[in-house]
Every structure is written in structure tokens, then in C-alpha cells.
């Protein structure tokens, strides 16, 4: 069992998905409860914060410990503290809660189109990866501000701004649409990724545009901004190996060995850090994009839009 092949002979099937994950996973409320216990030091006070009764909290923590097979909390007559394992589990729980809060913030913005006080129009990459976090950061500053989100490409964003149907926009790409003022809030790069063990990971020379445009890739569906940018940069694309409707599904397919894909660096930083995906060097292709905040020329944002803009600039605004 020592020197056998480290890489299995490529299952290469489309993609995984663990049906039992949802059963092994505590409910979101239980994770929040654990975080509240960590912060407040008492089951009862944590229960109060979450608006449930103390026995319910006691029961949930107990059930969680039973299901996970770990002692998480040291109870005592004057409070509860996390065990060492509990502290670790609580940190992991925090990541789940954060991702859930981002999901929630995004969904609310996508729905609240009605009485929105702050109407944001954003490109897909920004809406996917950056905007939910910004909205969470904005909430304590502007608790009463309902935010609405429209996602679309640069032209759509520009049109919404110029028609007065959006207060602040975010676009990606080389050019600032006509009639808009802009400031760069971040930079993004498209990267070529494969599963570890893919033949491309053993290349010595970087890929070039011709190779990228000639090889079948796993792509988002037609109309995706990233796909368009890529097609433009390399001069057309081969017929896709597979077309998927979400970036996450795409990453899962790549990780399972279905083939290479081109994705925003923002989308794959975690996977690269963990080695679930491998970045393939590319040469001679312009894959860097500016991510910019935009507004109608001469009308700098005010009110909530100004606050959101300041946030995106990391307090430098």
C-alpha cells in the first residue's frame, strides 16, 4: 500500500454529489446555535438570541453531539464552553453560516425589486462572487435599505443606469461603456483548470490561444459572460465537451475529471488552494479583466449607493 499509483485511472464520469451529506449535516439553526453558544457562553442565552426555548437549545446541541459523534460543549452550572473539538467544529460551522447568509442576501436582492431603495445592476461574475458579501457589509450601515439586484452583461448594466432604473452598476471587461463614469474595484483573471492528474498538468509549455480554441472544454451555457470573453480572447471555441448551467456544477464536473474548463479566478481560489483543481499556465492570451463600479457620467452616486461604493473600495472611498 505504499507506492501504488497516486491517481486513480480517471473515473471521468460527469460529476459527483453525496446524497447522504444532507442527512449527516446538522440543520442550519443548530450551527447558528453553536456559534451563539461560543459567543455568549450559555445555552440559555444562545437560545434566547435565536428565539427558541432553552430546552430546545439543549436538545439541539445534544442531538448534534450524538449525530456527529463528538462532544462539542462542556456544560456547567454557570455556563457552557466549547470543547477543543467543539471550537474546531464551530469554526467550520461558521463558514456554512456565512455562505448561507450570502445566499440569503443574494436571494433577497434578486427578489426585492419592488420597493428597493438601492437598485444595483451587476455583471454575473460580480453578482456571483462579490455582491452578496458587499450586501452583508452594507446592512449594518443601512439597515432600512432594501437592495435590488439585476444581473446582466455590460450593455444591460449600462442601459439600466442610463434609463435611471439602477443606482449603481458593476461591469467586467476591458472597456467602460459610453456615458458612464467608472472606478476599478477589483481585478479578476480567467484561469484554465483541470482535475489533478489531467494530462495538461504534465505539460511543460504553457497553453496558447490556438490550443485553447481548438480543444473541447466544459463551458457555461450560451450567453455566459465568461464564455463570451473567452471566445473573444482566443478567437472562437470548439464545440463544448459539456454545457452546464452553473459555475458550481461546472467546477464539480472538472474536479471529477470530465475535462478542462476556463473559470474566473474568484470562482476557483478555494479549489486551487485545496488542490481539488489545478491551474494550467496560459500564454499570449489576455485573460485579465477589470471589475469596475459604474454610474452615469457626471452623477456620482449618493446615499446608499455611495456607501456601497465606498465598501467595495475597501474603505478607501
Q: Which of residues 202-241 bind a copy of itself (CB under 8 A)?
A: none
Q: How many residues bind DNA (CB under 7 A)?
A: 25
Chain centroid offset of residue 207 CA = 27
| Residue 43 binds: one of DNA, a copy of itself, none (C-beta under 5 to 8 A by kind) | DNA
Beta bridge partners of 119: 148
Nearest-approach distance from CB 181 to DNA, in angstroms? 45
The secondary element (H helix, E strand) that includes residue 90 is helix 84-111
Q: Which of residues 66-85 bind a copy of itself (CB under 8 A)?
A: 68-70, 81-82, 84-85
Which one, 169 or 234, has the nearer CB to a copy of itself?
169
183 binds, among a copy of itself, DNA, none (CB under 5 to 8 A by kind): none
Does the footprint of a copy of itself cover residue 146 (CB under 8 A)?
no
133 binds a copy of itself, rule: CB under 8 A: yes
* 189 Cβ contact list (under 8 Å, min separation 6): 264, 265, 287, 288, 289
90 binds, among a copy of itself, DNA, none (CB under 5 to 8 A by kind): a copy of itself
Inter-residue contact 170 to 122 (CB < 8 Å): yes
End-to-end CA, the chain:
57
What whole-number distance in Å separates Cα of residue 36 and Cα of residue 16?
Answer: 33
CA–CA gap between residue 272 and residue 296 (Å, rounded)? 37
Return the SS3 of 169: strand
Q: Which stretch binds a copy of itself (CB under 8 A): 17-25, 166-174, 206-214, 226-234?
A: 17-25
Which runs of E-coded beta strand occur in 105-159? 118-122, 147-151
User: Which residues on neighbouring strands pair with residue 288, listed in sequence order?
Assistant: 189
Name which of residues 3 to 32 contact DNA (CB under 7 A): 27, 29-30
**Residue 259 in contact with a copy of itself, rule: CB under 8 A:** no
Stretch that binds a copy of itself, among 165-173, 207-215, 227-235, 307-315 (CB under 8 A): 307-315
Kindly tell me which residue out of 44, 59, 76, 99 binds a copy of itself, with binding defined by CB under 8 A: 99
- Which candidate, 222, 259, 215, 254, places its Cα nearest to that of 237? 215
Judged by beta carbon distances under 5 to 8 A according to partner kind, the member of a copy of itself, DNA, none in contact with residue 1 is a copy of itself
Compute the distance between CA of residue 281 and CA of residue 258 in angstroms, rounded to an integer. Answer: 19
Residue 107 touches DNA, criterion: CB under 7 A:
no
According to the binding rule CB under 8 A, does residue 262 interact with a copy of itself?
Answer: no
Which listed option, DNA, a copy of itself, none, makes contact with residue 275 (CB within 5 to 8 Å by class)? Answer: a copy of itself
Instruction: Give 174's contacts (C-beta < 8 A, 6+ positions apart).
Output: 286, 289, 290
Minimum CB distance to a copy of itself, residue 235 (Å):
26
* 32 is an interface residue for a copy of itself by CB under 8 A: yes
Q: How many residues does the structure list for the chain?
A: 317
Footprint of DNA (CB under 7 A): 27, 29-30, 42-45, 51-56, 58-63, 75-80
Amino acid at each position: 500500500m505504499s507506492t501504488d499509483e497516486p491517481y486513480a485511472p480517471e473515473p471521468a464520469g460527469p460529476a459527483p454529489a453525496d446524497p447522504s451529506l444532507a442527512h449527516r449535516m446538522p440543520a442550519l439553526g443548530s450551527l447558528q446555535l453553536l456559534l451563539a453558544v461560543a459567543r455568549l457562553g450559555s445555552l440559555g442565552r444562545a437560545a434566547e438570541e435565536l428565539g427558541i426555548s432553552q430546552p430546545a437549545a439543549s436538545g439541539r446541541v445534544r442531538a448534534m453531539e450524538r449525530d456527529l459523534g463528538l462532544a462539542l460543549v462542556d456544560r456547567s452550572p454557570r455556563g457552557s464552553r466549547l470543547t477543543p473539538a467543539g471550537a474546531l467544529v464551530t469554526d467550520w460551522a461558521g463558514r456554512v453560516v456565512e455562505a448561507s447568509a450570502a445566499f440569503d442576501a443574494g436571494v433577497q436582492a434578486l427578489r426585492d425589486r419592488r420597493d428597493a431603495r438601492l437598485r444595483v445592476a451587476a455583471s454575473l461574475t460580480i453578482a456571483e462572487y462579490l455582491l452578496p458579501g458587499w450586501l452583508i457589509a452594507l446592512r449594518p450601515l443601512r439597515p432600512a435599505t432594501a437592495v435590488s439586484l439585476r444581473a446582466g452583461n455590460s450593455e444591460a448594466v449600462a442601459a439600466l443606469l442610463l434609463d435611471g432604473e439602477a443606482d449603481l452598476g458593476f461591469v467586467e471587461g476591458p472597456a467602460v461603456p459610453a456615458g458612464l463614469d467608472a472606478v476599478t474595484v477589483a481585478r479578476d483573471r480567467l484561469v484554465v483548470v483541470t482535475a489533478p492528474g489531467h494530462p495538461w498538468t504534465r505539460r511543460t509549455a504553457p497553453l496558447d490561444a490556438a490550443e485553447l480554441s481548438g480543444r473541447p472544454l466544459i463551458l457555461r451555457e450560451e450567453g455566459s459572460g465568461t464564455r463570451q470573453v473567452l471566445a473573444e480572447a482566443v478567437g472562437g471555441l470548439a464545440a463544448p465537451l459539456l454545457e452546464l448551467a452553473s459555475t458550481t456544477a461546472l467546477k464539480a464536473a472538472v474536479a471529477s475529471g470530465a475535462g478542462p474548463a476556463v473559470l474566473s479566478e474568484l470562482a476557483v481560489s478555494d479549489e486551487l488552494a485545496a488542490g481539488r483543481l489545478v491551474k494550467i499556465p496560459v500564454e499570449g492570451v489576455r485573460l485579465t479583466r477589470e471589475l469596475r463600479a459604474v454610474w452615469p457620467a457626471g452623477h456620482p452616486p449618493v446615499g446608499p449607493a455611495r456607501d456601497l461604493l465606498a465598501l467595495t473600495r475597501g474603505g478607501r472611498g
